[in-house]
Chain A
Amino acid sequence: MNFFHLVCVYFKLKKIHVYLLNFKLTATRKKMSEVIKLKKGLNIPLKGKAEKVLIDPGPPGQYALKPADFQGIRPKMLVRVNDQVKAGTPLFFDKYNPDMFFTAPASGRVIAVNRGERRKILEVIIKADDKIEYEEFGKADPDKTDREKIVKRLLQSGLWPLLRQRPYGIIPKPDSRPRSIFISGFDTAPLAPDYNFIMQDSASEFQAGIDVLRKLTDGQIHLNVSVDYPVPDVYKNAAGVQLNYFSGPHPSGNPGVQIHHLDPVHKNGTVWYIGPQNLLVIGRLFLKGVVDFSRIVALTGSEVINPQYYRTTMGASVDNIIRDNIKEGNNRFISGNVLTGTRIPAKGFIGFYDSQVTVIPEGDHHRFMGWASPGFDRFSASRSFFAWMMPGRKYVSDTNYNGGPRAFVMTGEYEKVLPMDIIPQQLVKAIIVEDIDKMENLGIYEVVEEDLALCEYICTSKTEVQTIIRHGIDLMIKETS
């Protein structure tokens, strides 16, 4: 065999190798085609992701239920200060839906009902007993309970509000039936908790929750997972669900985006959605017969010394998990993530739907010549700061606006971070001028604030997109009811 021959063999082998490789690639691609690939969006690289360590911080002492967590309800109090309550005792109900109760997350004494402007109820605070006592609802097998009884049980126990519907992102009416129910099994928001970590060891509760949901709809239960994150076994083993695969950056984990791609809503009909941890609460009600709001919460953000996971409860004070774990300085505490979370005081309470607490620095200081700085340390979705030279870097972001509000000037920005077939800027404009027809046509039924939170983040004109969207939704509710 001469040298030339060897070369020929080598290239032939290489050709075969390349051919095989290509074949393999097309095979995987075929499999991947079932994945709903979303390209638009943005993962904001922030410092302070929670390490996978689960801490039991001990009893939080105080709990609170905040009516502001629930969109579109008018709370009417059922308890007074100094009343004794158990976990699951109704604290207030919705004036518009008198059988919809909102119940205490723990047993103890009501120590305050804080009110704001026009006597609006802000929070009902409970000083917890040392040992939590539960209202007894009795165990039940969801498969053998009829729908009516399940609905009643959820309403009475205060777990019905864990469900939310599209359009509007409000709590569904008890007499309505959804076309389908969505569970987004992953969270793509900045520093969001890892559900692969949170959901381990909860298979039975999760399954019980799904069994309940299956009674609530004649349609499918969509359990959506991402190929970009490890899929928990709990999800893979769940029975009675349609498992859908997504890929892509935030907001691909938002139920609104997933509904848009799988079962889009319009004027007629509703689709419901619920978070995985909240589903566990419903599962527990049927397995144990009690209202147990306990959940795992990720403490995240650049100002947390040791960002990690904590076993706590909805409505619990964050005091015991952030104590001695926060850096010095003027910080902002957020229940939820930096895009959609609610601002809370340092001793505030975890929101009804939240699985994350974030602490970031306040930005109440001036920056010299911000427009001229090279900006190696300033993240931007555009490449107008030199930070683009450092891919993979994580940033500390404070609460400064980084500029002043302006009229719309830039275009095409919002489209880059909204993986929906909706023209966001036009929708926002339609809401600003309160044109109901246009809002309807441009997609107000399909979105809530969180879906356009990234638009607000990247906006050069610093437009308050989320506030505008909620205003639009409120208008729609008023107009159509």
Chain B
Amino acid sequence: MKLLREKIDKIKPHFQKGGRFEMLHSTFDAFETFLFVPDKVTNRGAHIRDSIDMKRTMIIVVTAMVPALLFGMWNTGYQHFIATGTEAGFFDNFLHGFVKVMPIVVVSYVSGLAVEFIFAQIRNHEVNEGFLVTGMLIPLIVPVDVPLWMVSVATIFAVIIGKEVFGGTGMNILNPALTARAFLFFAYPTYMSGDFVWISGLLKGEGIVDGFSGATPLANASLGNTEAVPSAMEMFLGTIPGSIGETSTLAILIGAAILWFTGVGSIRIIASVFVGGLTMGLILNAFAVNPFMEIPAWKHLIMGGFAFGAVYMATDPVTASQTDKGKYIYGFLVGFLAILIRVLNPAYPEGMMLAILFMNVFAPLIDHNVIQANIKRRLKRASGGSNTLNKVQ
């Protein structure tokens, strides 16, 4: 390590102000801090600081997505071989999926990070780690057969319009990964919906076995083909067609556990999204007039992208509500609206993406009201004399 450190120290001056490669300053800095925690010490305020930093936080979120990614790879192969009627073992499935999914991951990271590095240099700030998460999220929420150039275009669009124009990580209003998906959804709808996009090879018309439909459970349900909807166990485990990372509720719950336990993701949001979805589901059950509305409320939670959105998307701290109470309201409404859109809007088979984006926009309003309530309460207490606050804090 010492040798590496010496090497870095040797070339460092070239990248600093006045150096030969000054225009690569941010890039160099990003790689240097990636390899070594800076030697900067505190000079004001608290003399010691918590071990956590943004890199660690983001790496933990990425780790939490790994189960969904690995399962998504396996499932890609599994679905492909079912569709083509080929016998395949575990490794065949995984390998097929790996070959299909890995390029999407690479393209997403490369195009997004390129934009990040350029902006960091222009704006003269450090490269933000936020994209480490976005770059992993994007591959997990697209259909496996999406053309790579689309992934690249969508990622660049999301990073620039969704994030950098507002000032970078921490300043954005909309979740960048969902911005990318919304962009794809509205710009290239034929590649993002329908019965043929969810399973690799179907779009190219590779030999499909007779009677096979590539429709997702949600698509079937919305058409009223309730008998074609897979069993709850299949949907929970994730052996169903869908976007790469969204199918397995089990893998997502493992991720949720990691986020919750490390304290990186907000359990307030995750839990209240599920409660919100369940509530809407029950309301729809009560007034059911078609088979889709009759689907048991709890089943909605394991269908489509609901669980994925709840755990990885709605919890984005920047675009979610920032106050503790606001998080409950925000999460509840995300779940509530997602099921509402999903079931009652015929144009969109899945409502999670739009529900989260919609609530991203409303999160500041929720926070505003929570803050106003706090202000009023505290004013009342200060003018009302002492000893009125005895509740546990």
- Measured CB to CB, the residues of A under 8 A from B are 36-40, 44, 46, 260-266, 332, 334, 338-341, 343, 358, 360, 362-372, 375, 378-385, 387, 397-412, 415, 419-423, 425-426, 441-443, 449, 453, 456-462, 464-467
Contact = CB atoms under 8 A, between A and B. Distances in A.
Interface of B: 1, 4-5, 33-57, 59-60, 126, 128-130, 167-171, 261-264, 266, 268, 317-318, 320, 322-324, 327, 367, 370-371, 374-375, 377-379, 381-383, 386-387, 389-390, 392-393
Contacts of B262: 382-384
Given A399-B42, A411-B317, A423 B5 contact: no
Contacts of B266: 411-412
B52 A460 contact: yes
B51 A360 contact: no
B39 A400 contact: yes
Given A382-B50, A404-B38, A412-B266, 9 more contacts: A332-B47, A375-B51, A380-B52, A382-B52, A385-B52, A397-B48, A399-B41, A400-B39, A457-B48
A409 B170 contact: yes
28 contacts: A262-B386, A262-B387, A263-B387, A338-B48, A370-B37, A370-B55, A375-B51, A380-B50, A381-B263, A384-B264, A385-B52, A399-B47, A400-B39, A400-B41, A400-B49, A403-B37, A406-B54, A407-B168, A408-B318, A409-B169, A412-B268, A412-B317, A412-B322, A443-B378, A453-B46, A460-B52, A461-B170, A466-B44
A303 B154 CA distance: 53
B47 A403 contact: no
Contact of B49 (A387, A401, A421): A401
Contacts of A461: 54, 170
B171 A407 contact: yes
Contacts of B60: 384
A264 B1 contact: no
A419 B57 CA distance: 24
Given A366-B39, A412-B322, A425-B322, A360 B47 contact: yes
Nearest to B168: A407
B33 A404 contact: yes
A384 B57 contact: yes
Contacts of A264: 378, 381-382, 386, 389
A421 B376 CA distance: 11
A461 B59 CA distance: 15
A44 B51 CA distance: 12
Given A382-B263, A412-B266, A466-B44, A401 B51 contact: no
Contacts of A366: 5, 36-39
Contacts of A401: 38, 40-42, 49
A142 B307 CA distance: 69
A474 B183 CA distance: 47
B391 to A, nearest CB: 9
Q: Which of B39, B49, B387 has the most CB of A within 10 A?
A: B49
A339 B46 contact: yes
Contacts of B33: 404
Contact of A44 (B48, B54, B320, B367): B48
Closest 3 CB pairs of A and B: A403-B53, A407-B170, A266-B382
The residue in B36, B126, B168 that gathers the most chain A C-beta atoms within 10 A of its C-beta is B36
Given A38-B393, A366-B36, A409-B170, A403 B54 contact: yes
Contacts of A387: 51
Given A375-B51, A421-B377, A464-B44, A367 B389 contact: no
Contacts of A262: 386-387
Nearest to A443: B378
A369 B48 contact: no
B45 A407 contact: no
B317 A464 contact: no
A402 B37 contact: yes
B171 to A, nearest CB: 6
B55 A371 contact: yes
A266 B376 CA distance: 13
Contacts of B371: 423, 426, 442
Nearest to A465: B45
A406 B58 CA distance: 13
Contacts of B47: 332, 334, 338-339, 341, 343, 358, 360, 399
Given A380-B51, A380-B52, A384-B60, A411 B46 contact: no
B5 A403 contact: no
B41 A363 contact: yes
B359 to A, nearest CB: 15
A412 B377 contact: no
A263 B50 CA distance: 32
Contacts of B39: 363-366, 400
A369 B46 contact: no
A375 B371 CA distance: 37
A472 to B, nearest CB: 14
B386 A263 contact: yes
A54 B130 CA distance: 51
Contacts of B54: 403-404, 406, 409, 460-461
A375 B171 CA distance: 30
B51 A368 contact: no
Nearest to A384: B262
B45 A466 contact: yes
B99 to A, nearest CB: 27
A371 B48 contact: no
B317 A409 contact: yes
